[in-house]
Amino acid sequence: MGRMSKTDTVAETEKTVSTAAPKVAGSQTATAGPATVDSATPDPMHLWNRLKRTDPKATKPFTRSGGFRGTQIDPTWRLMMMTEVFGPVGKGWGYEQMDWTIAERMIFICARVWYLDPETGEKCWTGPQWGGTEMVRRRNGIEAPDDECFKMSMTDAVGKCLVQLGLAADVHMGQFDDSKYREEAEAFYAAKSNPDLQPAAIAAFEEEIRKRLGACLDLDDLEELWRTGAGTRLREIGTVDRTAQHRITSLFAQKKAEILKQDDDEGGDLEAA
């Protein structure tokens, strides 16, 4: 393949910035330039967006009497996700039992979840939710007491509370019924396990790009930087962190604008001379 022109390079950079930019709530498309939202204004969807995507490996289908079908989410995976976002249980988040009762041979527990806001440190609560489990289990037509009914009722109640924060929202919104979405979720978690795509690695890459962009003197330099792995790495980053991808690609757009402005200024000086 032949060498791309400066115009082609600029066009591809703009295209990447446009397609990589995450959508902003309340708008149809995001701009290619720096975000204009006041950084002091908290994003109300921040936690929801961090928690909403479910790892397909942590799910399995189930069928209840009457033909109802759904997707079951591994309770331990939910605890792991909360720990990843807020810290260890009891320190960054936790839950408490508020009430319990027995009715129709079922144990019902009312619980609520608390968490420390990662940005402000404020202690927040979900609304209380009830969870219920039968007190007996049936095997081969024989009933026996279920010694885990209290634990399962608490798990049910806590799981409902976590949905209020957005945890596994894609399952509850029916997105897992779409095979294409499940494939995207599998790709997301495969990329998330890549050491090069962990938050610290992404931050180091962003700092490296800032330094290398500072050394770019013209569009040829910008093209060379893009072609020597930056473009590929940014596409990979986009699978796990669209915000970081948008932020870094915006750096390319800003540098391109600076170079073009400098060229225009120099051209104007030559005409004046």
Handedness of CA 95, 101, 102, 106 (dihedral sign): negative
DSSP per residue over 161-199, as a string? Answer: HHHHHTTTHHHHTTGGGSHHHHHHHHHHHHHHT-GGGSH
- pLDDT tens, residue by residue, 144-189: 999 999 999 999 999 999 999 999 999 999 998 899 998 889 888 8
For the cut 70, the answer to whether the pLDDT of residue 15 exceeds it is no
DSSP state of 30: -
| pTM, to two decimals | 0.62
Domains contained in the chain, CATH given: 6-43+190-266 (no CATH), 55-167 (3.30.390.80)
Give residue 26's pLDDT.
34
Widest distance between CA atoms in the chain: 99
pLDDT value of residue 241: 86
Please state at what angle helix 149-165 crosses helix 75-86, rounded to 10 degrees: 50
Q: Which of 52, 61, 53 is nearest to 183 (CA)?
A: 53
**Is 273 or 110 the better-scoring residue by pLDDT?**
110
